[in-house]
Amino acid sequence: MGEYYDIIVVGAGPAGLTAALYGLRAGKSVLVLEASGYGGQIVNADKLENYPGIDMISGFDFATNLYNQVKKLGGVVKYREVLKIDEDKTVHTARESFRAAAVIIATGARNRELGLARERELVGRGVSYCATCDGNFFKGRTVAVVGGGNTALEDAVYLSDVAEKVYLIHRRDTFRGEMGYVKELEEKDNVEFILNSTVKALNGDIMLKSIDIDDGKGQISTLPVDGLFVAVGREPVSRCFANVVRLDDAGYIMAGDDVHTGTPGIYVAGDVRVKELRQLVTAVSDGSIAAMTAVREMKPQDN
Ligand code: NAP
């Protein structure tokens, strides 16, 4: 049958941990299931300067404070990947299953991969998805950033102050990100744009040594680089819940009234849901609303 909790939260990012915090403060038993480490994407933010009421804090410290709040109130956090949720709110992991009166899905979004051979194998060996986390390993070296959105542009700006040379590779000739960043990069001597081009292969035995680039006209050239920063957007972690929630074309969970999935007792919070603004402040807002809605809608027999 599996252990029973009033609320199971799937995902220990800011949305999930806030949901847990509010559920616990309402007197409910709460289990948080997390596939990797707590904190979600925010742990990669070097400095948070736009969270109301806090002048500046690192993403890691913010997440740790929130995690400790949950633990202090008796929240149970288990590191398990959730494989499936049943309509009756049984939550399955590879090792065991759990039951709950309410389930809050807060699995967030993860970095999109390029989908190249050896991409995963070379993570930490030259390939990275986080310039602020790994940029310092490339002091005085040559790196490339792939992507044309604000993340890629910001990463290129950040890396231009660390690395000796930065290539910015984008598949089109115009950027999706802000012109201000583009102008800033154009003025830097150590930044070179490689436009209308895609990365086709990653080369190197143990460490990344070079990348093959397709110029879109059939010409492939090899560019020696020590690091490749992939910044081609994010995708929601939602596919395995498609049996109990509805997904939009991009895979985000459709939410009525912000947190209702359409399946009674199953709610959604944070970056994994369809929403206008994916920010820390909206993630924690979702978490609190999802938990309070779950508590309000819990039937007496659920307790
Ligand atoms: P994004 O805006 O979706 O941009 C992703 C970029 O990657 C696009 O330029 C896209 O090319 C390219 N791309 C996608 N798949 C690719 C593939 N397989 N191969 C090569 N290129 C690929 O993602 P983001 O930059 O991570 O930003 C996400 C959101 O956060 C955006 O709304 C952004 O404005 C926001 N953000 C804001 C700030 C800020 O305000 N300071 C900072 C970071 C992010 P195409 O353009 O051709 O589609």
Q: Tell me, using a 6 A CB cutoff, whether residue 176 lines ligand 1.
A: yes
Amino acid 301: pLDDT: 55
- Written as six digits, the tokens of 268 are 């959604």
How many helices, marked H, and strands, marked E, lie in the chain? Answer: 6, 17
Catalytic residue of the set 130, 226, 271, 286: 130
133 is annotated as an active-site residue: yes
Three-state DSSP state, 41: helix
Predicted TM-score of the model (pTM): 0.81
Q: 46, 61, 86, 134: which one is catalytic?
A: 134
On whether the CB atoms of residues 67 and 79 are closer than 8 A, the answer is: no
- Residue whose Cα lies nearest atom 26 of ligand 1: it is 233
Per-residue pLDDT in tens (0 to 9) along the chain, 303 residues: 789 999 999 999 999 999 999 999 999 999 999 999 999 989 888 788 889 999 999 999 999 999 999 999 999 999 999 999 999 999 999 999 999 999 999 999 999 999 999 999 999 999 999 998 899 999 999 999 999 999 999 999 999 999 999 999 999 999 999 999 999 999 999 999 999 999 999 999 999 999 999 999 989 999 999 999 999 999 999 999 999 999 999 999 999 888 999 999 999 999 999 999 988 999 999 999 999 999 999 975 555
> According to the model, what pLDDT value does residue 64 have?
98
Q: H or E segment at 72?
A: helix 59-72
- Strand-pair category, 220-224 with 90-93: unpaired
Q: Is 271 in the pocket of ligand 1 (CB under 6 A)?
A: no
Map residue 119 onto helix, strand or coil: coil
Is there an atom of ligand 1 within 6 Å of 114 CB?
A: yes
Determine how β-strand 227-230 pairs with β-strand 127-128: parallel
Instruction: Provide the pLDDT for residue 46.
Output: 76
Q: Report how far Cα 221 is from the mean position of its chain's Cα atoms.
A: 32
At residue 21, the pLDDT reads: 98
Q: How far is the CA of 69 from the centre of ligand 1 (A)?
A: 33
So what's the pLDDT on residue 133? 83
Is 130 annotated in the active site?
yes
Ligand 1 centroid–CA 239 distance in Å is 21
Compute the distance between CA of residue 190 and CA of residue 234 in angstroms, rounded to an integer.
27
- Ligand 1 proximity of 157 Cβ (cutoff 6 Å): no
Query: Any catalytic annotation for residue 134?
Result: yes
Name the pairing type of β-strands 90-93 and 82-85: antiparallel
**Ligand 1 atom index nearest CA of 170:** 21
pLDDT at residue 2 in the model: 87
Task: Give the three-class secondary structure for 112.
Answer: coil
> What residue's CA is closest to ligand 1, atom 37?
150
